[in-house]
Amino acid sequence: MDRAPDPLVGTTVDQRWHILRQIGTGAVGVVYLAERAKLGRQVALKLLHPEYLSNNEYVSRFAREARALSRLQHINCVSILDVGTHEQRPYIVMELVNGPSLTEEVGTPEMTLPRAVRLVRQVLEGLGHAHGHGIVHRDLKPDNIIVTEVAGVGEVAKILDFGFAHINDSRLSQSNARLVPGTPSYMSPEQAKGEKTDARTDLYSLGVVLYELCVGFRPFVAGEVAELLQKHRDEAPVPPRQAAAGRRISEPLERVILRALEKDRDVRFADAAAFAAALDETPEGRETARAGGAAHKRSLVPYAIAVVALVVACIGVIAALHRH
C-alpha cells in the first residue's frame, strides 16, 4: 500500500524555506531537504512531530537542541541557520550534511584502524568545543556522526542531534528527571544508573563508538534493555585485541579504548583533549598524522598567505587614510 503524500512537501515555511522532500525521521521530529527561497541554498529542516505539540518534554527537547546548536560554531558540529514555528510546530534549519553515518561504516574494509582513530579524533575536537560551551551531548552514537567531505579539508566527521543535550544554563529547563537520556547500546554507567551526567559521559559513549569501529561490533550486546544497561554498569568489556584478534589493534590503542570505557568516570580521561592526546600517541594515531598531517598543513598555506596579504593591505589603507 502506497504511503499518503506528505502535505508539507512543496510548501514554503515562513516564506523562506521551500520543502523539497523528506530525508529522515526520528523519535522527536521529521527532517526535510529544503532550500532557501530565491537563493537556492539547500539545508536540512527539522520539524517537531505534530503529535508531540502537547508533550512538554518533547517540546523542551526540541528547544534545547536549537539552543545547543546556536552555541556551536565548529567544523565537527552541525551548524544552525534558523529557528521558528510553522503552523504551531517548532522547526530548526541546519546546514545540510551529506555523507554516510558511522553506522554505515562499521565493519567495512574502508574502516581501517588509522581512519577510525582519525574520525574519532575529529569527534573529540567537536566535543571539546561543545563541552567548553557547557553542552553535554548525552546521545553520542554512530547514527549521530556523519562522515562528509569538506572542500579544501577532506573527510570530516560531524556531530548531529543534540536533542538530549544538557546545557549548563539556569535559564533553560532541562529534561525530565524520570527520563533517562541516551541510547542503551551507548549509555554510560552513570546514565544506566540514572545519575547526573557530565562531559565524561560523552567520552564513555565515544569509547563505545571507537570500540565498535575498531573491533566491528559493540562491547555489550543483550536482548533486553535492562540486561544491556546492567552490562554497562557492571560488566567489563572483552579487550579489543581479544575480541578482534585479526585486526591487529595495538596495545596502546587498546589501553585508550579501555580507559574510555571505565565504569568509574574519575578513571576515564578528564576531558576530550586528554582523550585526543592519548589517541595521538598510539601507533594508529601516529600513522594518521604521517598520512594526513603534512597534507593538511600544506592546504593551510595558501589561506595563511592570503590572510597575511589582507592584513598588509588593510594596514596600507589605514596608513593612507591617516595621511589624508
Secondary structure (DSSP) of 158-209: EE---TT-EE--TTS----TTS--S-GGG--HHHHTT----HHHHHHHHHHH
Per-residue cell: 308: 597575511
d(CA 126, CA 147): 13
Secondary structure (DSSP) of 37-62: TTT--EEEEEEE-GGGTT-HHHHHHH
Distances from the Cα of 134 to the Cαs of 26, 65, 169, 245, in angstroms? Answer: 25, 13, 8, 39
- Number of residues that make up the chain: 324
**252-288 exposure pattern, b = at least 16 Cβ within 10 A, e = fewer:** bbbebbbbbbbbebeebbebbeebbebbeebbbbbbb
Q: Are 46 and 29 in contact (CB under 8 A)?
A: yes
Cβ count within 10 A of residue 215: 23
For residue 157, the 8-state DSSP code is: E
Shortest CA distance to 238 belongs to which of 222, 254, 260, 256? 254
d(CA 194, CA 181): 9
Which residues are catalytic, by number?
A: 139
Kindly give, in sequence order, each residue whose CB lies less than 8 Å from that of residue 256, ignoring residues fewer than 6 positions away: 210, 275, 278, 279, 282
| Amino acid found at 107 | G
